[in-house]
A and B are shown apart, each in its own frame.
Chain A
Amino acid sequence: MPGVTTFAGRSHVVIDIGGMPIRLLTGDSEFIELLHARYAGFAHSSRDSRFDFEIDLAPPGRISPDPELYVRRDSGKWRFDRGDFHAEWDPAASRGRIRQTANPYSIDSVLRIVHSLLLAKQGGFLLHAASAVRNGRAFLFTGVSGAGKTTISSLAPPDVALLTDEISYVVKQDARYFAFGTPFTGELARVGENIRAPIEEVFLLAKGPENRIEPVDAAVAARALLGNILFFAEDSELVNALFQTACEFVSRVPIRRLTFVPDAAVWELIR
């Protein structure tokens, strides 16, 4: 199979998001090729990885009847369960196992969960937000579904590099916050560029009759941020850490409300 290499006798691909390479291994080279295509720009065949996940591909159908997602930690090991997948992850051993059918959506969910847990321990987070880089600085646009993440992404001029139209990846490095590109797509279905940039500003998105930017106070900003952070685990320690992270982020990064009409002129305000 062209482009698919083996590791320890298994077909594999390394998905490198946010500088965190995660290897996925399975005996099914066609599935690995599917993942190479799905995560283009973030997938490679390096021998280096931070965590390895073995994928057991099940026959088509549900793995369990329960559609709810459960993310729980027991004795240092994580278990993720949803109707379409079951996963176990031992961070200390740097390995895990995923049982799912041959579809890209289950593994996408598992990757989001793993990254959300890794980031929570490092002062970062995944945010429901589009993000883009202009003049070497990252701008995030957060809001619920329908707020305009896809719209503002699709209006971006050519000098803007899109990091994501759906899930922004925020990392704290050396007391600064950086946004990384992600392959987690929304309605635009366009994989972000695999680059990073320091975060200049976060906008709380709202559609309205004119383009304008308004200040918001810190408590409003923190509430909005916390309301849009992706976190899946029932874990008091990490929830506490995320709360403190959000408050810290609000104290360091400007957050303002951006009301806009669906017109490319809005990008004249974002420089």
Chain B
Amino acid sequence: MSGKLYVARDSHVAARNLGGEMMVMSARNSTLYTLNPVATAIWEAADGVTPLDEIVANRICAQFDVAPEVALKDAETLVAELAGHGILVVSDRPIVRAAAATENSR
């Protein structure tokens, strides 16, 4: 995939970190998802203005033992999947609206 990708949390998703697991629920269809650690790192960094390759470099490669090019390819697949579930919004340009997902951590 060429060019930058930008990701933002969908505004119709509620999220909460419970006991170290990030749980997100689509308010559109009440479907509940539990994110794995990689998806959680992307979700937490998905501010709409940080390119996905920067998120991968700073959050994924810094936390997980994975080559940058492999991590980016996997991340692109992952965000496409999460976008398909309505959890993330993916764009080839910065997403300027504020990520409105409600999130609380404990």
Residues on A facing B (Cβ under 8 Å)? 217-219, 222-223, 226-227, 231, 236-237, 239-240, 243-244, 247, 250-251
Contact = CB atoms under 8 A, between A and B. Distances in A.
Contact of B30 (A218, A239, A244, A250): A239
A239 B28 CA distance: 8
Contact of A240 (B32, B34, B102): B102
B14 interface: yes
Interface residues of B, number: 17
B71 interface: no
Contacts of A219: 18-21, 23, 34
Interface of B: 12, 14, 16, 18-21, 23, 25, 27-28, 30, 32, 34, 102, 104, 106
Given A219-B19, A226-B25, A243 B14 contact: yes
A226 B12 contact: no
A222 B23 contact: yes
Given A239-B25, A240-B27, A240-B102, A247 B32 contact: no
Contacts of A239: 14, 25, 27, 30
A250 B30 CA distance: 18
A247 B102 contact: no
Given A219-B23, A223-B23, A247 B16 contact: yes
Given A223-B32, A236-B12, A244-B104, A218 B19 contact: yes
A218 to B, nearest CB: 4
A250 B19 CA distance: 10
Contacts of A243: 14, 16, 25, 27
Contacts of B106: 251
